[in-house]
Amino acid sequence: MIFKVIIADDHPIVIDGLRTHINAQPDLTVVGETGDGLEVETLVNYHHPDVLLLDLALPGLSGLEITRRVKKKYPHTHIVIVSMYDDIAYVAEAIKSGAQAYVLKRSVSAELISAIRSVLDGKRYLSPPLSEDTLSEYIRNLQTEDLDVFNTLTRREAEVLYLIIDGLTNHQIGDRLGVSSRTVEMHRSNLIHKLGVSGTAELVALAVERGFHLPGTPKL
């Protein structure tokens, strides 16, 4: 049996590397590629892949939102997140959204095939130094503590939110933090989902209402 794979990443060099590793396997084949988050669902609709390799920071639509949409419509498609972000909060959100594996880009060449075979076998795969124990402890703390949702934000999410409140655009925030505007858009999308609001205006209003502030800065 040949298992079909789709790759979604906005870096052509990364796609080339992933394709090479996958197509070298006798039972795996890449049937679609895209660097645009808005095109992923179209490819999935057409090819019905067994595995979707997905970057978190894609232009157009974030990897987490794509994961939620694909798993809702195609629950049997296995999703492997391939990301540069090793914060356990992102891993937990990806798993909660429906991903079965989380592979760090710095180790992708050695672990990609292991991750794909794990999810095809119905198992979860986390790229070291990520671990099931760390993930379980993080999720357990979220479930047992009376936790303010703002305290679940990663440091970078908090920085992005603070600058959104200041009225900066994605491009301006990216310049301030030394990241791409696509990465900022991913964080903005995650913030909107995590805090349960419908858009940026509600996000800012809620943050102001709750007196959100970064450590070491005055409250709003």
CATH value at residue 82: 3.40.50.2300
Closest CA to 88 of 145, 132, 125: 132
Cα dihedral 145, 146, 149, 155 in deg (nearest 10): -50
Number of domains in the chain: 2
**Range(s) of the domain holding residue 156:** 149-209
Are 124 and 154 in a shared domain? no
Residues 6+ apart with CB under 8 A from 122: none
136, 167, 186 — which closes off a domain? 136
Q: Indicate whether 76 belongs to any domain.
A: yes
As a whole-number percent, the residues of the chain with pLDDT over 90 amount to: 49
**Same-domain pairing of 50 and 154:** no
> Does one domain contain both 71 and 101?
yes
Residue 143 lies in a domain: no
| 132 and 160 assigned to the same domain | no
How far is residue 152 CA from its own chain's centroid? Answer: 16
132 with 157, same domain: the answer is: no
Q: What is the pLDDT of residue 147?
A: 55
Pairwise CA distance, residues 217 & 106, whole Å: 33
pLDDT digits (tens, 9 = 90+) for 168-217: 999 999 999 998 888 898 888 888 888 888 889 998 888 888 888 665 44
Instruction: Kindly indicate the confidence band of residue 220, based on its pLDDT and cuts at 50, 70 and 90.
Output: very low
Bridge partner residues of 28 (DSSP): 3
Same domain, 129 and 33: yes
Residues 156 and 132 in one domain: no
Q: Are residues 27 and 126 in the same domain?
A: yes
